[in-house]
Amino acid sequence: MSAPSTPAAKAPPSRAHRFRVFWERVTEGLELEQLWSQVLSDAKATYGLYSADVDWDEIKRETRGPGRLVFRSAWALFQAMLMKLSPARRVLLLFAIVLLVFQTDVGSGNHRFTIHFGWIGTLILFLLLALELADRVTMKRDLEIAREIQQWLVPGKAPSVPGFDIAFATRPQNTVAGDYYDAFLRPLPDAGGEQPLLIIVADVAGKSVPAALLMATFQASLRALSATSASLAEVVAGLDRYARAHSLEGRRFTTAFLAQINPKTLEMQYTNAGHNDPLLRRASGQIERLSTGGPPFGLPLFTDSELTYQSATVQLQPGDLLFIFTDGVIEAVDDHGDEFGESRLLPQIQSAPYEPAGTTLQRVMANVNAFVGFARQHDDITCMVVRANA
């Protein structure tokens, strides 16, 4: 009787295989061309961050000769970068740079040799990198928590309203955004069971955390006003009063488009508060821009009288499509700095076939993404599509 065979030992992965796995983890499967595009995009954004702190006019005025101009420009950018660090890290960075080029001779005669301190400078630079990465990871974790909270404030899916097909999507520039969108049936106390559909897309001036905080308070104000028997005009006036009280003297204004639709009659009343004009594509293919309203919410008043926002009424028809967007859509730029623009958006809406709202939305977002490529996103992007079913 023969002894049972033992399974052959599995050969350890080769060095080439381990390197390939490591490289795929580092690059996340991106090609070299894509990686290079990201590097260029990041370099442009980083240059913009530091150059904003440099007085270029003064440098050009006080510098003579192209060689000195290059040196002064590089020195100014280095100082701008240096001042972004904490005082202790500034000293470490300067000390590391000195050590990278410092060397000394010791001994005498035939026993004289040179000691290089570059390796100490390199270790200090790695220490600085580790400290900055730790700060970045901590901040990213806090921003992820803020993003989760923000996601609670906007609907995860569109409401189910008979006669309508609604879809929306957003892509923040950073982890959190200043764009706000919502769609819900208003539970009016004195409407006898009638629940009009309220839709809104808003954009708080600014980006990241400050804009996100104001967006959150704007959402709370809208929800509180919408739960009352206030008309759309009263809701708009209340939002403007609230935004003015928290706008930091007009520096944090909010553009918004609000509309209230009667699901039975398809009558829509709307107000545009300084927002990009939504596009109403009729079933016939005709495009209408919804621009009636007033300035953005939160701008300071120059008179004692309160600002009055106009509203307009539009009769929707089965098959009509309403496309609402923030300026991040048309101002999205590619690697060459060209904007997506309404010239590219309008044909997509005008030629949209009768299809689910989500399909139209996905096609527009895909075209924006394809146009931008790997260029860094400069603003929050939000779109909402509302289609009246035929």
- The domain locations on the chain are 18-147, 157-388
**Structure tokens, 337:** 């700095």
pLDDT at 117 over 90: no
Q: Looking at residue 308, what is its pLDDT?
A: 85
Per-residue confidence band for 110, with pLDDT thresholds at 50, 70 and 90: low
DSSP for 231-246 reads -HHHHHHHHHHHHHHT
Q: Looking at residue 249, what is its pLDDT?
A: 64
Q: Looking at residue 384, what is its pLDDT?
A: 95
DSSP for 281-317 reads E-TTS-EEE---EESPBTPPPSSSSPP----EEEE--
Question: Which range (13-27, 304-318, 376-390) has the least confidence?
Answer: 13-27
Alpha-helical regions (H) of 246-387: 327-330, 341-350, 357-372
Arithmetic mean of pLDDT over the chain: 84
Question: Which range (98-112, 177-191, 248-262) has the least confidence?
Answer: 98-112
Architecture label for domain 157-388: 4-Layer Sandwich (3.60)
Reported as a single tens digit per residue, the pLDDT across 283-331 is 988 999 999 999 999 887 655 567 889 999 999 999 999 999 999 899 8
Per-residue pLDDT, averaged over 14-32, amounts to 82
Q: Looking at residue 352, what is its pLDDT?
A: 87
- Coarse DSSP helix, strand, coil percentages of the chain, rounded to the nearest 5 percent: 45, 20, 35
Closest by Cα among 321, 332, 344 to 369: 332
Q: Looking at residue 139, what is its pLDDT?
A: 79
Exposed, middle or buried by CB within 10 Å (0-12, 13-18, 19+), for 320? Answer: buried
Reported as a single tens digit per residue, the pLDDT across 43-63 is 877 888 888 888 888 888 887
| Higher-pLDDT residue of 385, 209 | 385
